[in-house]
Structure 1
Amino acid sequence: MPWRIVRRRRLAVCVFASLEFLLCFGGEVVMAAQMPTGKEHVNWAGMRFVRIESGGFQMGQEAGGDWDERPVHTVRVTQPFYMAATEVTNAQYEQFDPEHRKLRGKLGFSKADDEAVVFVSWHEAVAFCEWLAKKEGLPYRLPTEAEWEYACRAGTTTRYHTGDSLPKEFHKNVGMSWFPAPGRTRQGEVVPLTVGQTPPNAWGLCDMHGNVEEWCGDWYGPYEPGEQSDPVGREDGDFRVTRGGSHSTAIEYLRSANRSGALPEDRSWLIGLRVALGPMPKTRPLPVPPPPLNQRNVSQRAPGDLARAPDPTQPCFRGPRTYVHIPPGSNGPIFSRHNHCPALVECPNGDLLAVWYSCLTEPGRELGIVASRRRQGSEEWEPASPFWDAPDRNDHASALWCDERGALYHFNGLSAAATWGSLAMILRTSTDNGATWSKARLIAPEHGVRHMPVESVFRTREGAILLPCDAVTEAKGGTAIHLSHDDGCIWHDAGGTILGIHAPVVQLRDGRLLALGRGDHIDGKMPKSISSDLGKTWTHSASPFPPIGGGQRAVLLRLREGPILFISFASRIAIKDASGAERAVSGMFAALSHDEGETWTVKRLISDDGPSRVVDGGGNTGKFILSHSQAEPRGYLSIHQAANGLIHLISSKQHYVFNLKWLETPAPPAPPPPSARELPVKRTLDVVCAFSELPSKSQPAWRFTGSGVAEADAVTFPSSGVMKVDTGANQRARWVDDSPTGFGRADARKRFTIEMRLQVLKSTAPTRGIDLEAYVGDGSPTGIRCFMTITRTGVYWSADEGMVALAENLDNHSALHTYRLAAREDGIAQIYRDDKPLGARPVCHAADPLLKPKGPYFQWGEGAGASEADALVAHVAYDLTGPYQPPGQSTP
């Protein structure tokens, strides 16, 4: 029987076919026409399709591709099919769903009839194809991922079908986008999405690189090696594949081989669809991949002694112990370069589960969530393994919680692409200790701000689940809270804003909420926010705590014993130790409140109070010194009190365990100050530099690092054998030797001696004059840094607590004197003036932040900002063979 003529938009397509098969939609049997056979096909809706012949290709990209594009493997497409020449437009899609017209122009995108339709979920894309099929009796569908890449490549093997570069006409707002985040959205972010404006590939397909991402039919999953015919992806998964890249992204995401994916329910201004025409391949999908390590062999039995703890009347402290274990050189899906922003929970079986993000760069599309499990009865954390990762979507960031019935909750932000400027929010749950998880559900589906989960999920006394979320993308602007009153089914933003980002929250006994945030300082202090209406409104005041900044996130926790525990960071804060003495410490500290946050007592550094040693803090922390006076200087914290009462604290890489008794026990007294000892005597050091010309012109040459004044203007030579350094306010005249043939070859194992002979003519700051400084290390804050300064009347040492006096009431201005610093192998420096010892001091560790060195350096000169200093310099000298004292009086 002939097929009837359908007229639409002045197009007449006459298809003559015999009855060939039946299609069934919702119980309705529909006659189906014979597949077209020509090179092109235009359907009743005016959609033009081009024929894609069968053939084979290499799927994926080896060199320069992403980890999920490997292994490159041979794929054979055994049957021809048709692919739409362009993406589906608004006019075409709205014939199926007229209500979608209301979304034209949402966030400014896709207003015209001939622009690609966006804000379409995978389910809606499938429904559109089924509607087309029902209308015409032909097998319209989404393409498989393999069909999409085969059609895109059109016989090419290069990065793009245009070659290894993509011409400018394909570029639409190329680059990393923070849209629609206020304050970070650039001009020109909204671009037209008109279809068919770029040159077609060799097979006649337009917009295969950019414009909008296109839904494919497959569940996303890893590639398998070996030749495959008509692959259809995995049999199940969390994400449906999208291909082609879009506007507003880096150009590498537009490559032919690039793979992306999204939750089937997700909608954004970046994703549309392209329709395929042809019978669906009958290939069986690949099985779901095996679970990651953190989900394998998870015990479902809770030990009977789970709540048994060490004696709570005795202080207990363990750690730090590394919980992030990733092999060097890992480059996806787990990355060794950057691991940060953790969340922590105890599972009902006693296991600890930690998750965090792993990436190359924090705003990058490669960022995903990984996990490690510490199994009950073990002290060791397992190697990191994947936890949740929306392909090519930034997953900033995670929160974990266990409810009263033992269900685990995983909250996560889900970006539309890169950055945390366009986050939606998802929730997954587990009822088997994290062995399996429900599929992610969008609980805040609109991509934007106020959706980045923060540490400290809890149930309020009213029964609501409370989840803090950063309200902004920048370093200040506040934190929102989201609430669910039905165990996580429906969520809403409470509406108010806490001062400061990353704000942890606790509920007070009277029902009010207390939060302490980062940024938005009040009177130089960390802001404190109080809400009496579950977050609808907040009042703000200054807390007693110092503000925190980059690389730092604090935690608040209501302990089961009653007090509120706060852990944060300070560059300098006072504690009272067991001797009753108050002393200054720095780094991560703990404070307790026994009166609902009205007053706080700073109790302890989070440290084992042992000898100084180097610890790797990972993340944005890097290596740091842990000692009785120094703790981790920064890190993103997550905290959980286990069933046995022990408090587990993780930073960006380290795990600490302690109990309330340890917090309440004063730290031991500081060790006695170091003492000087006899060192080998050496009158003249190996390298002595006396200047008769500018130091930068002398041999060896000293690099001028001053500011506010030229070297030639800061230096004169009033008499033979001395050089005068003369600076004014806000001028710096300093010189450094970090050359590989000079001080840059210093070996930390041998230590060193530095020396300067000078006369201080003028110094206007009380504890800064002419500086003498040396550093041996790799630029991290775990090197060996010795820093002293000489004023007209004193010699001062740079310590953790600031500049401390070595000697005062001296006459350093009437004549030349020689000042020597000898760095010992035990981390102690001995300081001398002429042949007299001035004392011994522990070395510091952080290098000069203005220099940003990569290795050792020796620096001297004036540089105290607004102060002034003038001096006559006879020589500077150093010796890299060890620490030496000058001849003369013995060291006492």
Structure 2
Amino acid sequence: MSDKGLFSSGIGSTVPVGIAAAFVALAGWTIWDGTVPAPSSYTNSVGIRLVRVPAGSFVMGSAVPESDSWDEQPAHRVTISRPFWISESEVTVEQYRRFRPGFLGSMVEMPSVTGIGWDDATGFCAWLSRLEGKTYRLPTEAEWEYAARAGTSTPFWSGESPPDEAAANPWGLKCMHSGAREWCLDWYGPYAAEAQIDPVGPASGLVKAVRGGGLDRSSPHYARSANRAGYAPAFRVMEGTEPSEMPAEQPPSEEPSRQGLIGVWYGRVNHTDPKAVDEITTLDLDWKTFQQPGQDRGEIWSARWEGFLTPPVTGPVTFHVQADRAAEIAIDGRTVVGGDASRGTLTGIAAVVKGKRLHIAVSYAHDHGEQSFLRVLWSWDGAVPAPVPPGSLSYSPAQHARQRSIAPRELQPGHHTIGFRIVQAEMPPTQSGHEERPFIQECVVQAANPVQAGPDPRKPWLRRRPLLPVPPVSAGQEESRAAGLWAGMMAHIHNPALEVLPNGDLLAVLFTSRYGPGGEDRPEVALIATRLRFGSDEWDMPEPLIDFPDVNDTSAFLWSRGKTVYLFWGHTFLNGAYPFQWTATTDSGATWSHVRFPRFVGEIGPHSRQPINSAVRTADGTFYLPSDAIGGSSLLWASKDEMATWYDTGGRTLGRHTTIALLRDGRILGMGGKTAHIEGCMPKSITADGGKNWIVGKTEFPALASGQRPSLQRLQSGRLFFVGDLQDSLGRYPPAVRQRGAYVALSEDEGETWTVKKLEGTLPADPAAQRGNPYQTLGYTIARQAPNGIIHMVTTKTVPVLHWELNEAWILSKDASFMEYPKQAVSSLREYREIYPSGRLRSVRRGGVTPGGEFKLHGRQVWYYEDGRTQWDVGYDAGVKVGRETFYRPDGKPVWAWIHRPDSRSVWTQYWPDGRKRCESTWSGCRADGPARSWDRTGRFQGETRFLNGRSAR
């Protein structure tokens, strides 16, 4: 791969001739008289060596089309109009401590200072500027790439391969492709196609640009001169975890305080090559059904766990061990059972005392084969062997510390690899660019909508519609681009979050990734979103909402409280990431706050950085946020002070993706979710002490597996609502479950018993996502109830991804048919207006109520910029878009336009900033169907892709 030919010729390390003084007093620099050569470097008062970079121009980004590097395009010419000084290498810990005495940061890229936030870096620059009386700042992204290339056009200044770490580039700069990653001045945003002079990025955003290497991964691809990374500016070492802040270390407690066993898994069968700390909450384990994200254990591995076992009886207990290979159990240091279990169940007897904790050590080894499992059962007094219940297993902080000392170091939250280098120069005079927000954040109603309007709750209601178009669902990335979708959109769209916004709109957030092994693990995974505007029958086209470049964004969760809606999500694979982070909106998703990170009090136990699909707030104000733990278990993060501080509640459920609801008596019920079972059935977990301990039991519902997630919701009626599949993703189900497909259920008695009904209208599993499932599925589910009583669900793993509407009356009715609803006339039309604070008109929209009670947009809807220009113009007929729909830029030129025909066929046209056509695609309903064409900025035709029913017809 090469970027050859991108760099303009004639740029060297000398000042351009023709200037009277060899070094002009630009930006407050020293004026040189022309008789003495300008210096090429100097060392400032804190020992930072700065190197002079000449003015010049280059082509920024990469012209090599590559799906993983879409944000490096379009390659565009950039002029750096004035020379500047930039530090030879990153600022060191020693230099930074002149600003913050005693600070050590994360110490992961010594001697460079790392683990600092963007504000810390700019704070250092401001302090140094005051100290020396000249302007210091961070480099812009353009300055950084210009200096990194140093007159070259190849992926690295050294050519096609990275340079030696100690080598300097032709302009004297070191560590541009290695060492600490580096904060840049700019907010991260898409590149402009036109030539630019001294660009400084967009005016605002959620992510600051980072250069000098990848964040999730450190392979050479992510260290190229053109590579872009980024993170939230508040990302820094968590308070209380800097080495200088850490209290004198106290010996960890030997008293067990967590459920489960703790250990380490190894890369070899003989318990060598330790890989990571491993927590298990059950002794019924199947690693072929599930492996921890980012921990593909391969065909040869082993593990050893320890903790305590608390038996319920006194006397001899027989342990029964089943495994595909070797396994061993030791009680109080004595081997009770061990050997090769592949030939049959191993048994051994230990004498125990009821309620007395015994030290237990469990070992396992896997050496190839189709199966990888371990099951430990026990029996006494001639009873049938039964699984060892999770509540009998526990481990102590001291045991956790011992296992952690064996495994490779896992960084504390915020102990990341990002540092910075400095520039000595005035700020470029360029104005910040306009932040281009996705349409899902534009034209958002702020005034009151008639959100209570809805179907009669006494009459059954069941409806479904496509949530997302095809493509991108189950289509190649090139197909999505050809159809006019965002360049980072990929085929596997999954793990949905859903919330009913204060204005009545629905917002759905999902991740987009590739299919196949490792597809969900890649740094290019991002969060996309779509909006169903109140009164409309059609979801907006999906667009990016959260994308930390070079970081895997996943596991979105939306939760509302009053007028505020919170968006939580995780960074599963970034070492040093927090367990989660969040942003919030108070205007129904039009704008989002800066990203916040949790400050934890106390020990953080083993976990995955993956929030689930539910949360509860108890009567005492404690907020509980479920998240995946390790293996087939989940946990609750909790905050008692409005999210100012957080803590790990300590216990673990049985089931990954456990979905929760608050019971009337204050207990918390957790259902499922997957990769755990009791006799083939889904487990349930109940805690009466805020997640510290869980009591596990069996439900009547089938256990779930990979690609499945149930959803639990407390309804306005007081009932509990539950939804899931009637078989797992491999087609397995317990004998008592007679039907296949999916179900919805209601409980009147806090989950003790359920009224269960098969959900009609489900679709077959997407073969690209669930090859082993021959049945219809809902995949991952999320449910929310609107103020009008309608239950909304989003489900994935089908083509297309679906949005469901239903009510309790349908679940309780005897009618099992899927319901179709003919178009209804709209009456009682009303006009709604919104006004800017200046008094200017912001929008005019119209809508009314159907005979069935639904509110529908009807007639022309027009939104305006504050200067009076039209922003969005669309027509509706009883909630369905008709005629021409156009979204405009502030200068009056179109961004895109649709022509909606009565036969459900439509044409989507997108435009370059100058108003020329960029691409045009033809659609039938939610599927691309017909020609899709594209043009370059000059109007030259680039090519055509023909679609048939959502797929390119080759």
Bin of the TM-score, shorter chain as denominator length = 0.5 to 0.7
Of the three residues 159, 183, 199, the one matched with 1:163 is 159
How far does residue 149 in structure 1 lie from its aligned partner after superposition? 0.2
Q: What is the distance in 2 between the residues matched to 1:664 and 1:607? A: 14
How far does residue 567 in structure 1 lie from its aligned partner after superposition? 1.3
Is 2:302 the partner of 1:302?
Answer: no
CA contact (8 A) 2:106 2:417 kept: no
How far does residue 388 in structure 1 lie from its aligned partner after superposition? 1.7
The amino acid across from 1:552 in the alignment is Q
CA contact (8 A) 1:340 1:620 kept: no
Q: How does 1:368-387 map to 2 (within 5 A)?
A: 368-387=526-545
Q: What is the distance in 1 between the residues matched to 2:138 and 2:449? A: 50
Give secondary structure in 2 for the equivalent of 1:454. coil
Partner residue in 2 for 1:536: 692
Partner residue in 2 for 1:237: 205
CA contact (8 A) 2:138 2:183 kept: yes
CA separation of 1:246 and 1:391: change in aligned 2, threshold 3 A: closer
Q: How does 1:561-576 map to 2 (within 5 A)?
A: 561-571=717-727
Of the three residues 453, 465, 480, the one matched with 1:330 is 480
Q: What is the distance in 2 between the residues matched to 1:583 and 1:202? A: 70
Partner residue in 1 for 2:421: 274
CA contact (8 A) 2:704 2:727 kept: no
CA contact (8 A) 1:325 1:382 kept: no
Question: 1:193-220 CA deviation, whole Å, 9 max, x = no partner?
Answer: xxxx432211111111122210111111
Q: Which structure 1 residue ranges, 5 or more long, are not aligned? A: 1-17, 24-31, 170-196, 574-581, 671-892
CA separation of 1:282 and 1:91: change in aligned 2, threshold 3 A: same
Partner residue in 1 for 2:677: 521
CA separation of 1:22 and 1:386: change in aligned 2, threshold 3 A: closer
Partner residue in 1 for 2:591: 436
CA separation of 1:412 and 1:618: change in aligned 2, threshold 3 A: farther
Give secondary structure in 1 for the equivalent of 2:127. helix
Partner residue in 2 for 1:150: 146
Give secondary structure in 2 for the equivalent of 1:542. strand
Q: What is the distance in 2 between the residues matched to 1:358 and 1:432? A: 25
Q: Which structure 2 residue ranges, 5 or more long, are not aligned? A: 1-22, 237-414, 730-735, 819-954
Partner residue in 1 for 2:245: none
Partner residue in 1 for 2:808: 660
The amino acid across from 2:781 in the alignment is L
CA contact (8 A) 1:239 1:263 kept: yes
Question: 1:21-61 CA deviation, whole Å, 9 max, x = no partner?
Answer: 999xxxxxxxx977994011122333222211111100010
Partner residue in 2 for 1:825: none
Q: What is the distance in 1 between the residues matched to 2:768 and 2:88? A: 46
How far does residue 488 in structure 1 lie from its aligned partner after superposition? 4.1
Of the three residues 191, 204, 221, the one matched with 2:189 is 221
Partner residue in 2 for 1:356: 510
Range moving further from structure 2, 269-278 or 502-511: 269-278
When Rg is computed on C-alpha atoms for both structures, the one with the higher figure is 1
CA separation of 1:79 and 1:141: change in aligned 2, threshold 3 A: same
Partner residue in 2 for 1:694: none
CA separation of 1:284 and 1:301: change in aligned 2, threshold 3 A: closer
CA contact (8 A) 1:246 1:270 kept: no
Q: How does 1:683-694 map to 2 (within 5 A)?
A: none
Partner residue in 2 for 1:316: 461
Is 2:647 the partner of 1:500?
Answer: no
Q: What is the distance in 2 between the residues matched to 1:34 and 1:543? A: 80
Q: How does 1:584-595 map to 2 (within 5 A)?
A: 584-595=738-749
Partner residue in 2 for 1:452: 610
Of the three residues 585, 599, 620, the one matched with 2:769 is 620
CA contact (8 A) 1:508 1:514 kept: yes
Partner residue in 2 for 1:607: 760
CA separation of 1:646 and 1:316: change in aligned 2, threshold 3 A: same
Partner residue in 1 for 2:629: 471
Is 2:226 the partner of 1:257?
Answer: yes
CA separation of 1:572 and 1:228: change in aligned 2, threshold 3 A: closer
CA separation of 1:365 and 1:447: change in aligned 2, threshold 3 A: farther
CA separation of 1:618 and 1:288: change in aligned 2, threshold 3 A: farther
Question: 1:364-414 CA deviation, whole Å, 9 max, x = no partner?
Answer: 1111111111111222212101212222221122111222x2322211224
Q: What is the distance in 2 between the residues matched to 1:283 and 1:656? A: 48
Question: 1:226-262 CA deviation, whole Å, 9 max, x = no partner?
Answer: 2211111122221111101058523211111111111
Give secondary structure in 2 for the equivalent of 1:330. helix
Give secondary structure in 1 for the equivalent of 2:637. strand
Q: What is the distance in 2 between the residues matched to 1:537 and 1:380? A: 44
Question: 1:485-508 CA deviation, whole Å, 9 max, x = no partner?
Answer: 444444433332222221100111
Give secondary structure in 2 for the equivalent of 1:131. helix
TM-score, L = length of structure 1 = 0.61
How far does residue 621 in structure 1 lie from its aligned partner after superposition? 4.7
Q: What is the distance in 2 between the residues matched to 1:391 and 1:200? A: 27
The amino acid across from 2:45 in the alignment is W
The amino acid across from 1:457 in the alignment is A
How far does residue 523 in structure 1 lie from its aligned partner after superposition? 4.1
CA separation of 1:64 and 1:455: change in aligned 2, threshold 3 A: same
Question: 1:123-169 CA deviation, whole Å, 9 max, x = no partner?
Answer: 111122223333333322211111100000111111111222335x4
Q: How does 1:395-410 map to 2 (within 5 A)?
A: 395-403=553-561, 405-410=562-567
Higher relative contact order (CA 8 A, sep 6+): 2
The amino acid across from 2:220 in the alignment is I
CA contact (8 A) 1:353 1:372 kept: yes
Is 2:563 the partner of 1:413?
Answer: no
Of the three residues 127, 132, 140, the one matched with 1:131 is 127
How far does residue 430 in structure 1 lie from its aligned partner after superposition? 1.8
The amino acid across from 1:664 in the alignment is L
Partner residue in 2 for 1:208: 176
Q: What is the distance in 2 between the residues matched to 1:43 and 1:301? A: 56
Q: What is the distance in 2 between the residues matched to 1:246 and 1:621? A: 31
CA contact (8 A) 1:454 1:504 kept: yes
How far does residue 510 in structure 1 lie from its aligned partner after superposition? 0.7
Give secondary structure in 2 for the equivalent of 1:67. helix
Range moving further from structure 2, 91-100 or 496-505: 91-100
CA separation of 1:33 and 1:464: change in aligned 2, threshold 3 A: farther
CA RMSD of aligned residues (A): 3.2
Give secondary structure in 1 for the equivalent of 2:738. strand
Q: What is the distance in 2 between the residues matched to 1:669 and 1:231? A: 59
Question: 1:788-807 CA deviation, whole Å, 9 max, x = no partner?
Answer: xxxxxxxxxxxxxxxxxxxx
Give secondary structure in 2 for the equivalent of 1:151. helix
Partner residue in 2 for 1:862: none
Partner residue in 1 for 2:112: 116
The amino acid across from 1:319 in the alignment is R
Give secondary structure in 1 for the equivalent of 2:554. coil
CA contact (8 A) 1:54 1:77 kept: yes
Give secondary structure in 2 for the equivalent of 1:203. coil
Partner residue in 2 for 1:342: 496
CA contact (8 A) 1:294 1:385 kept: yes
Partner residue in 1 for 2:55: 54
How far does residue 419 in structure 1 lie from its aligned partner after superposition? 5.8
Q: How does 1:182-201 map to 2 (within 5 A)?
A: 197-201=165-169
Partner residue in 2 for 1:92: 95
CA contact (8 A) 1:399 1:457 kept: no
Identity across matched positions, percent: 37
Question: 1:857-885 CA deviation, whole Å, 9 max, x = no partner?
Answer: xxxxxxxxxxxxxxxxxxxxxxxxxxxxx
CA contact (8 A) 1:397 1:452 kept: yes
CA contact (8 A) 1:572 1:585 kept: no
CA separation of 1:337 and 1:250: change in aligned 2, threshold 3 A: farther
Q: What is the distance in 2 between the residues matched to 1:336 and 1:22? A: 45
